[in-house]
Amino acid sequence: MKDKLSAFWSGFKDKWSSLAKNLRIFIITAVSVVIVAAIVLAIVLNQKGYTAIYTGLDSEESSQVVSAINELGITDVKMGTDGSISVPSDQADNVRMQLSIQGYPKSTFNFDVWNSGIGIWSTDTEKKVLQIQQLQTHLMKAINTISAVKNSYVIITMPENSNYVISTDSEEPRVSVKLDLKNDAQLTSDQVEGIYALVLNSLPGLERENISILDSDGKLLSGENTTVEEDVLYQSRLNFQEQMQSLLKSQLNDTLKKLYKDYTINVNVKLNYDNSKSEYTIYTPSVAEDGTSGGMIESSTKNEGWGGIGSLSGVVGTTSNSDISPNYPTITGDGDNQYYYQNSITVKRLVNTEIRQLEKNGYSVDKITAAVTVDQVNMLEADKEQLREVIAFAIGADVANVTVANYPFVINGNNGTNGGGNTINRGGSVDWTVYIILLLGLLVLALLIVAILTSNAKKKKRAKARAKAAAAQAAAAQAAQESAALSFEPQPQPDEEFNIQHLDDYDDESKSAVLKKEIKDFSRTNPDVVAQLIRSMMKNG
Worst-scoring range by mean pLDDT, 36-50, 220-234, 450-464, 469-483? Answer: 220-234
Residues 232 and 220: their CA atoms lie apart, in Å, by: 16
Q: pLDDT digit string (tens) for 195-212?
A: 998 898 888 888 888 999
Closest CA to 189 of 135, 156, 150, 148: 148
Mean pLDDT of the chain: 73
Q: Of 453, 473, 493, which residue constitutes the final position of a domain?
A: 473
265, part of any domain = no
pLDDT for the residue 325 = 46
Write out the DSSP string of 36-49. Answer: HHHHHHHHHHHSPP
pLDDT for the residue 420 = 44
Domain shared by 224 and 128, yes or no: yes
Q: Where residue 415 falls among pLDDT bands split at 50, 70, 90?
A: very low
- Contact assessment for residue 51 and residue 137, using Cβ atoms and an 8 Å cutoff: no
Residues 140 and 130: their CA atoms lie apart, in Å, by: 15
Burial of 257 from C-beta contacts in 10 A (0-12 / 13-18 / 19+): middle
pLDDT for the residue 495 = 47
Which value, in Å, is the radius of gyration of the alpha carbons in the chain? 59
- Contact assessment for residue 249 and residue 267, using Cβ atoms and an 8 Å cutoff: yes
Residues 94 and 250: their CA atoms lie apart, in Å, by: 42
Q: Residue 342 forms beta bridges with which residues? A: 305
| Amino acid type, 498 | F
Residue 508 carries which DSSP code? H
165, part of any domain = no
Domain shared by 78 and 218, yes or no: yes
Domain shared by 107 and 212, yes or no: yes
Residues 70 and 320: their CA atoms lie apart, in Å, by: 106
Domain shared by 71 and 123, yes or no: yes
Q: What's the total number of domains in the chain?
A: 4
Domain shared by 442 and 302, yes or no: no
SS3 content of the chain, % helix, strand, coil (to 5): 45, 20, 35
pLDDT for the residue 508 = 63
- Contact assessment for residue 260 and residue 428, using Cβ atoms and an 8 Å cutoff: yes
Q: pLDDT digit string (tens) for 296-329?
A: 666 777 777 666 555 555 555 555 554 444 444 4
67, part of any domain = yes
| Mean pLDDT, range 157-171, rounded to an integer | 63
Closest CA to 193 of 174, 217, 207, 213: 213
380, part of any domain = no
pLDDT for the residue 89 = 82
The winner for highest mean pLDDT among 105-114, 147-156, 313-322, 506-515 is 147-156
Domain shared by 110 and 226, yes or no: yes
Residue 182 carries which DSSP code? P
∠ CA 198-203-208 to the nearest 5 degrees?
Answer: 65
Kind of pairing between the strands at 297-307 and 340-349? antiparallel
Other C-beta atoms within 10 Å of 262: how many? Answer: 21
pTM of structure:
0.31
Helices of type H across 19-79: 21-46, 59-71
- Asked if pLDDT for residue 447 goes beyond 80, the answer is no
Worst-scoring range by mean pLDDT, 186-200, 255-269, 484-498? Answer: 484-498
The length of the chain in residues reads 541
58, part of any domain = yes
Domain shared by 183 and 294, yes or no: no
| Amino acid type, 492 | P
Residues 150 and 300: their CA atoms lie apart, in Å, by: 73
Domain shared by 297 and 216, yes or no: no
pLDDT for the residue 129 = 80
524, part of any domain = yes
Other C-beta atoms within 10 Å of 91: how many? Answer: 19
pLDDT for the residue 126 = 77
44, part of any domain = no
Residue 67 carries which DSSP code? H
Domain shared by 227 and 102, yes or no: yes
pLDDT for the residue 527 = 78
Detail the DSSP E strand segments found in 350-477: 351-360, 364-374, 402-406, 425-426
Domain harbouring 86, CATH code: 3.30.300.30
Residues 56 and 84: their CA atoms lie apart, in Å, by: 6
Q: pLDDT digit string (tens) for 64-76?
A: 888 989 988 888 8
- Asked if pLDDT for residue 149 goes beyond 80, the answer is yes
- Asked if pLDDT for residue 92 goes beyond 50, the answer is yes
82, part of any domain = yes
Residues 79 and 55: their CA atoms lie apart, in Å, by: 10
Long-range pairs, 168-175, Cβ under 8 A, ≥24 = 172/205, 172/206, 172/207, 172/210, 173/203, 173/205, 173/206, 173/210, 174/206, 174/210, 174/211, 174/212, 175/199, 175/203, 175/206, 175/210, 175/211, 175/212
Residue 96, C-beta contacts closer than 8 angstroms, at least 6 positions apart: 53, 110, 138, 142, 198
Q: Residue 88 forms beta bridges with which residues? A: 50
Domain shared by 99 and 190, yes or no: yes
Domain shared by 197 and 119, yes or no: yes
- Its domain, for residue 111, covers 50-160+171-234
Domain shared by 349 and 213, yes or no: no
